[in-house]
Structure 1
Amino acid sequence: MTEAITPSRKAGEESGGQLPRRDSEGTLRVLEELFGRLSQRDVEWILRVAKEFAEGFATLTDIPPTLVVYASARTEHGTPEYDLAFNTGAEAAKAGFGVMTGGGPGGMQGVNEGATSERGPSIGVGIELPREQGFNEYLDIKVACRYFFTRKVMFVKYSCGVVALPGGGGTLDELFEVLTLLQTAKIEGKPIVLVGRWYWQGLLDWLRNVVLATGKISEDDLLLLPLVDTAEEAVALMQERVAI
C-alpha cells in the first residue's frame, strides 16, 4: 500500500510515500503506458494543458520578485476602487516589486497602469472568457490561458506575495486557493494581505464568528489574512515579509 503524503512534506521532497524520480527514458515509457489506456480526447486534453504550462513557465521563469494582485474586472475607471488599484501597482513598483494580474480590464488594468506609471514590471496572465476578456494596454509581459487552474498555478508559482483588492467570485476563488495552500503547508513564505477594510471586514467577521466558532478553521488560519486600508500599508507589509 502506498503511504499517504502528509501536509508537512514539501512538494517535490523524496520520500517513501512519493513516486521516485525517473530518468527521461523511464518517464517516457510510463507516459506511453498511461496514454495507451486513455482515449484520444483525453490525451489531447493532457497535451493542451502541458503546452499551456510549458509556454507560461517559459515566459515567466525570469521575472523579478513579483506580487500577484487579485482585483475585479468590473471595477469602473474613475472610482475610488480604481484609484486603489492604481496606487497598489504604483506603490509596488516604487518598492521594487513587479506586479502580476489577470491582465484584463477594471481593477486589473488599474494595477497594471499604476505599475507602468512608475516604470515597474507589469505582467498579465489572461484567461479566455465569453466576456471581460482581452488584455489591457499596460502590460510588459502577457500569458494567455485557456484554463483557470493553469492560470492559478502560474499566479502562485511566480509570485512572492498576494494582494487581494475588492473583487468577486474569481478573486475569492484565487484568494482561498492560496489560503488553503498555506494552511496545508503546500507552499510557504507567500504572505497575503487584504486591502479595503470596508470591503473585507464582513468576510473576516464571518470567518471568525461562524467558521472558526464551529471549529472548521483555527485561529492561526485567520492570522494569514491581515487587513489594511491603503496601498501604502499593503506594500509596506509585503516589504516586511518578503526579501527582495
Structure 2
Amino acid sequence: MESYGEVVESVLVKLWDVLHDLEVIIPQRDDYFRVSIFGSSRVKKGDKIYEDVRFLAKKLAIMGCDIVTGGGPGLMEAANLGAKDGNIRGVVKSYGLPIELPIGEGKNPYLDRSTPHKSFFSRLHHFVFLSSAFVAMPGGIGTLLELVTIWQLLQVKKLKNRPLILVGDIWKEMLKWMEEEMVKGGFVSKEDLKLPVIVSKVEEAIPPIEKALKDFQSNLRRIV
C-alpha cells in the first residue's frame, strides 16, 4: 500500500502531465504580444529606477504590447502604471500575477487582470505561458529566480524566439562572474551566456522587443 507521501507525489506528477497535455492542444500565445517585466518590489515611487521602468512600460504599451508583472509593489507597480500611461488606444492590458506570501506584499492598483498564485512554480509557468518577451530589471532573489528560469528554458530550447533582456550593470557583474567561474569550469558554454541581451539603460531594451514584435505580427499575418 502506498504511503501518504507517495500518493501525493503521484497525484502531482499526474497534474503536471495534464498541464503538459493542455499546452499541446492550446496555443502558447494568441494574438497579443505581451512583455513580462521582472524587478524589485522594494523600490519606491519617485526613485529613478521606478520612473525608468514606468517609462519603458509606457513606450511598450504605445507600441501595442501588453505588460505582465508579478502584480506587487516597487518595479512591478511601475511597469503596470506605465502600461496604463501608454494605453492611449484602449487596447493594452496590464496583467499581474501576485503571489500569496506570509509577509502580505499585496497587489498594486494598476492591474486590468490579476491572477493570484499560491506557489512560485505555477506563477513562473504562467509568466512563460503569457509572454512573448521578458525584461529583467535590478532586483533580488525573486527577480533572479524569474530570469534564470527563462534563461534555462531558452538554453534547452523549450522557449524559442522570445527575447530575454537584462537591464543594468548588476547583470553585467553577474555575467562576468559566470564567465570566470562557470564557463572556465566547464559548467556552461560561452553560447549560453549570449542567450540574454544585456543593456545598460531601459531605452536600449526597446529595439530588441520592437524587432520581436514585428516578427510576431508578421507570423500572425502569415497564419491568417
Determine if contact 1:181/1:187 at 8 Å carries over to the other structure. yes
Residue 63 of structure 1: how far off its partner (Å) = 7.2
1:162 to 131, 134, 142: 134
Query: Does the CA-based 8 Å contact 2:43-2:75 persist in structure 1?
Result: yes
Deviates more, 1:158-167 or 1:60-69: 60-69
2:186 corresponds, among 215, 231, 236, to 215
**Take 1:148 and 1:140, find their aligned partners in 2: how far apart are those partners?**
21
Give distance in 2, aligned partners of 1:174 and 1:100.
13
- Residues 34 and 130, structure 2, Cα contact 8 Å, conserved in 1: yes
What amino acid sits opposite 1:194 in the alignment? L
Q: Does 1:226 align with 2:192?
A: no
The within-5 A match list for 1:70-109 is 70-109=38-77
Q: Structure 2 CA distance, aligned partners of 1:62 and 1:226?
A: 24
Structure with greater helix percent: 2
Code of the residue aligned with 2:153 in structure 1: it is: L
Alignment of 1:56-135 (within 5 A): 64-119=32-87, 120-131=92-103, 133-135=105-107
Task: Give the distance between the partners of 2:62 and 2:201, measured in 1 at CA.
Answer: 15
- Other structure's SS at 1:68 match: strand
Distance 1:183 1:172 in 2: 16
Cα distance, 1:69 vs structure 2:
0.8
Q: Deviations over 1:46-72 (max 9, x none)?
A: 5xx78xx7xxx99x9867210111111
CA displacement at 1:42 relative to structure 2: 2.5
Distance in 2 of aligned mates of 1:188 and 1:62:
15
Q: Deviations over 1:32-57 (max 9, x none)?
A: xxxx95749838x85xx78xx7xxx9
User: Conserved in 2, the CA contact under 8 Å of 1:116 and 1:122?
Assistant: yes
Unaligned runs of 5+ in 2: 218-224
What is residue 146 of structure 1 aligned with on the other side? 118
Native 8 Å contact 2:68 2:95 kept in 1: yes
**Contact 1:69–1:165 under 8 Å retained in 2:** yes
* Partners of 2:71 and 2:114 within 8 A in 1: yes
For the 8 Å contact 1:91–1:231, the answer to whether it is kept is no
What TM-score comes out, normalization by structure 2 length? 0.80
The answer to whether the 8 A contact 2:60-2:86 is kept is no
- Equivalent residue pairs, number: 201
Alpha carbons of structure 1 residues 61 and 162: separation in structure 2 relative to 1, 3 Å: closer
Please give the alpha-carbon distance, in whole angstroms, between the structure 2 residues aligned to 1:206 and 1:194.
15
Taking structure 1 as the reference length, what is the TM-score of the superposition? 0.74
Let me know the Cα RMSD of the aligned residues.
Answer: 2.7
What amino acid is the match of 2:147?
L
Tell me how far apart the structure 2 counterparts of residues 236 and 223 of structure 1 sit (CA, whole Å).
Answer: 17
Given candidates 157, 161, 175, the residue that maps to 1:204 is 175
Matches within 5 A, 1:5-84: 39=4, 42=8, 46=12, 64-84=32-52
Shift in Å at residue 172 of structure 1? Answer: 0.4
Contact 1:124 1:141 in 2 (8 A): yes
Return the letter of the residue paired with 2:119: Y
| Aligned residue type for 2:106 | G
User: Which 5+ residue runs of structure 1 have no aligned equivalent?
Assistant: 1-35
Q: Are the counterparts in 2 of residues 194 and 200 from structure 1 also a CA contact under 8 Å?
A: yes
